[in-house]
Chains A and B, each alone.
Chain A
Amino acid sequence: MKQEKCRAEVVLAMKADKATEEKIEAFVRARGCDGARYTIDPSIGGGIVIYIGDKVYDGSVKGRLASVKRSV
C-alpha cells in the first residue's frame, strides 16, 4: 500500500531565491512531505511560516513580535 505524502504550506513575505527554496524543500522533505506550496503574504513582515499537517513553524517577523508581545 502506497503511503500518502503530505504537502507543506509555505508562507513568505516576498519571493525567495532558488537557493532558499531548495533549503525549504529539503526541510519539508525531511519532515515527510513531498513538496511545498508557496504563498506570498507581505503582512507577515518577513521571514517564513510553514504549515505541515497540524504543526506550524512560525518564523515570521509578525509571529516573533507577537511572541515578544505575549511575553511582555
Chain B
Amino acid sequence: MDYGFAVNRLLASGGNIFETLGITWESIVLHLFSLIVLTVGLYFLLFRPVKKMIKQRQEKVQKIEKENADLNEEVKQMKSSSAKVLSEAKKEAAAIHESAVKVANQKADEIVSEARERAKTLVEQTQREMDEERGKLRSEIEKQIADVSVAVAEKVIEKKLTPEDNRALIEKCLEEWSKE
C-alpha cells in the first residue's frame, strides 16, 4: 500500500478520516445489514443444525453411557450371583463329598466286620473239624491199640495156658454161671 498517497489524501480532505477512507453512513448501514443477514443466515443454516447435531450426539453418548452403566450393573449383579451360586455349589459339593466319605466309611466298616465274622466262623469251623478229626484219630488209634493188645494177649495166653489153667478157668466159669 502506498502510505504516502494515503497521507496526502488525508491532508487534502482537511483531516476527515472517514472521507479519506471513502466510508459513508450508507455503506455502514449496508454493511450492518449485510452482517445481520449473514449472522441470521449462519444461525439458521449452520449454528442450529450443528447445535442440534451436538445435542443428538450428547443424547446418544448419554444413552450409551446409561446402557454401559446398566451393563456394568448387570455384570456386577451377575458376578455377585455367580459368586453366590459358586459358593452354594462349593457347599453342596462339600456336603456331597462328606456324605460320600461317610457312606464309604460305613460300607468299609460293614465289609471289614463281615470279613471278621466270616474269618471267625471259618476259624471256629476249622477248629471244630480239627477237634472232630482229632477225636476220630484218637478213637481209631485207641481201637488199633486195643486190637493189637488183644491180639498179643490172645497169643500170649494161647502159648502159656496149660491144661491145668484151662481146667481152672472152666471150673471158675461154671461156678460163676451157677450163681446166676
Interface residues of A (CB under 8 A from B): 12-14, 16-17, 20, 23-24, 27, 30, 42, 45-48, 57, 59, 61-62, 65-66, 68-69, 72
Expressed in whole angstroms, the Cα–Cα distance for A24 and B178 within the complex equals 11
Instruction: Please name 5 pairs of A and B residues whose Cβ atoms are closer than 8 Å in the assembled complex, sorted by A.
Output: A14-B163, A46-B157, A46-B169, A59-B169, A65-B157
Please give the residue numbers on chain B whose beta carbons come within 8 Å of chain A beta carbons, in ascending order. Answer: 142, 146-147, 149-150, 153-154, 157-158, 161, 163, 165-167, 169-174, 176-178
Say whether B171 contacts A20, CB under 8 Å.
yes
Residues of B within 8 A of A13 (CB): 161, 166
Given contacts A46-B161, A57-B177, A72-B146, contact A65 B154 (CB under 8 A): yes
Nearest CB in chain B to that of A48: its residue? B170
Q: Which residues of A contact B153 (CB under 8 A)?
A: 65
Within the complex, the shortest CB–CB distance from B100 to chain A, in Å, comes to 67
**Inside 8 A of A30's CB, which chain B residues have their CB?**
178
Output the least CB separation between A35 and chain B (Å): 16
B102, chain A: closest CB distance, angstroms: 64
Complex Cα distance, B150 from A62, in Å, reads 9
CA A12 to CA B158, docked complex, whole Å: 13
From B150, B157, B174, A66 is in contact (CB under 8 Å) with B150
B5 CB to nearest A CB, Å: 177
Chain B, residue nearest A70 (CB): B146
A67–B167 Cα distance when bound, in Å, is 21
